[in-house]
Structure 1
Amino acid sequence: MLLAVDAGNTNVVFAVHDGEEWRGRWRIATRADRTSDEYAVWLLALLNHCGLKASEITSCAIGTVVPAALYNLRRLSREWFNTEPLVARADLSWGFDIEVDRPKEVGADRLLNALAAHYHYTGPLVVIDFGTATTFDVVGPTGAYLGGVIAPGINLSIEALHRAAARLPRIGIGRPQAVIGRDTVPAMQSGIYWGYVGLIEGLVTRIKGEFGGPLKVIATGGLAPLFAEGTTMIERTDPDITLEGLRLLAERNPAPIFHRTTLPDSLKIETE
């Protein structure tokens, strides 16, 4: 089985794929100082709850935009699952060209989204990822990664509004029925929700115009279904695109060699 780890700025998502389907998905808040042992205590309990064993994990793929978190995620894979993780980076075999000025600077999550979106939906297309940042990534007809747009994420905008304006409260995100708010909170909710709908529609329209042809629009991330309700620009939502990208990347690239002798005896675990 494959353990896929998608480490974002806000959450780390762990998921297990048995070769046919995803058997479980779990998330934990991203903390760069979280140790491999802390991850293990939490993750092993969840695996056990789903009837899975550590010994059934035979490979691991990690995609992260938080370099400081990678060290302990690698240790988790090595120490607790006896496998050397495949870490998503630009110099692996992706099956498509990365047609940007500095390929190594493209976030792993954006390449993973492009890989899975083209595989499942075929290009050309735009992938909108509602994460800590809201990203728009353009995939060409043959799957080539053509670049994209990075905008502030919804929750970042809400927090910035609350912090910078003394009399504005912290609000939750939801779809207001009216654009014109008749009180402070509804007015803020309208500005955030319909403002981002306008951002989506405006950017997708400009991307299509610059691309010079039609593009499918796929959305992912926890808030994707909410914003898909407010615009016809988003044709489909898919919560598993990044995880699917990790699965496909692991299939395309040989698993790194794990040397058990490199671990002290105290760190080796029984896998039988």
Structure 2
Amino acid sequence: MSSPSRNLVVDVGNSGIKAAVFSDDDLMLPVSRFRTGDWSAIDGMVTNLGVRNIIYSTVANVPSERWTDTWEKAGIGVYTLDRSKPLPFQSDYRTMDTLGQDRIAAVAGTVGRLHTARLIVDAGSCVTSDLVDRRDRYLGGNISPGVSMRLRSMHEFTARLPLVETGAAVDTVGRSTEQALLHGGQVGVVYEIEGLFGRLVNVHRDLQLVLTGGDASLLLPYFSIDVLSYPNLVLRGLNQILSTYVNK
């Protein structure tokens, strides 16, 4: 009986790197976080955990040939998320060449696990909302500012509104300027998502709301509809895509 394949998936964002090792479909260890460009730390995971395949997606920084050559010479498969290669889902998106790698990975992470239509919300620096039908066909989505971006912009683009930190929003409406900003910038994201969901569920009756991303736990308490919380969905999707590449 062959041993499970260990895959390293690396998500390079604007402010840092998230990396995880999967044994087939199982996350082996807690997700590791590094500063952007710290590929020596990634190499440590490769060496210490017996990684056989690597996939990375990036918006900002790619590993140098120093690292990719080292891994490939060790017999490790090294892949980057490539929109031109086969994906585990079909798409109606008109500009796949501009579709964000994190959005592609989030969609892939639900394939084979959810068998209904779903609205996948990734709450990070921006909030992305992506619609997939029950046949795993990607239909498109929306992008809007994330919580921190909303709070910061209200402060920076006005003369007197203060910068408020995220936190617990009390009552239904804000009873002070700080609370009003918090409700608008934080809970307002929830209202936006619920409004979109309410329109889409009229067409996709079996629609499921899926929530992931760094601000997911911040938003989760304020939803009035059922939410499937799915941490590390982008990383799981990268592992799913990597399996597709290796099998092809």
Distance 1:86 1:255 in 2: 13
2:33 aligned with 1:62, yes or no?
no
Equivalent residue number for residue 179 of structure 1: 172
Number of residues of Structure 1 aligned to a counterpart in Structure 2: 240
SS in 2 for 1:142: coil
Which consecutive segments of 4 or more residues in structure 1 shift more than 3 A? 42-45, 52-55, 74-84
CA separation of 1:120/1:149 partners in 2, compared to 1, >3 Å: closer, same or farther? same
Distance 1:44 1:166 in 2: 47
Q: CA deviation at 1:212?
A: 4.3
SS of the residue corresponding to residue 172 of structure 1 reads coil
Structure 1 residue runs of 5 or longer lacking an equivalent are 257-272
| Distance (Å, rounded) in 2 between the aligned partners of 1:75 and 1:62 | 16
Amino acid across the alignment from 1:4: V
SS for the counterpart of 1:253 is: helix
Q: Which residue of 2 aligns with 1:241?
A: 233
1:45-70 per-residue CA deviation (whole Å, 9 max, x = no partner) reads 6x4xxxx8447122101122x1x412
Match of 2:3 in 1: none
* Structure 2, unpaired ranges of 5+: 1-5
Q: Deviations over 1:133-153 (max 9, x none)?
A: 101111111111111111111
1:10 maps to 15
1:79-228 matches, within 5 Å, as 79=70, 82=74, 83-209=76-202, 211-228=203-220
Helix, strand or coil for the counterpart of 2:178?
A: helix
Identity %: 24
The answer as to whether partners of 2:17 and 2:34 remain within 8 angstroms in 1 is: yes
Specify which structure has the higher proportion of helix.
Answer: 1
- CA RMSD, Structure 1 to Structure 2 (Å): 2.5
Tell me the TM-score normalized by structure 1: 0.78
Give the letter for the 1:16 counterpart: V
Change (3 A) 1:226 1:131: same
Task: Measure, in 2, the Cα distance between the counterparts of 1:18 and 1:59.
Answer: 11
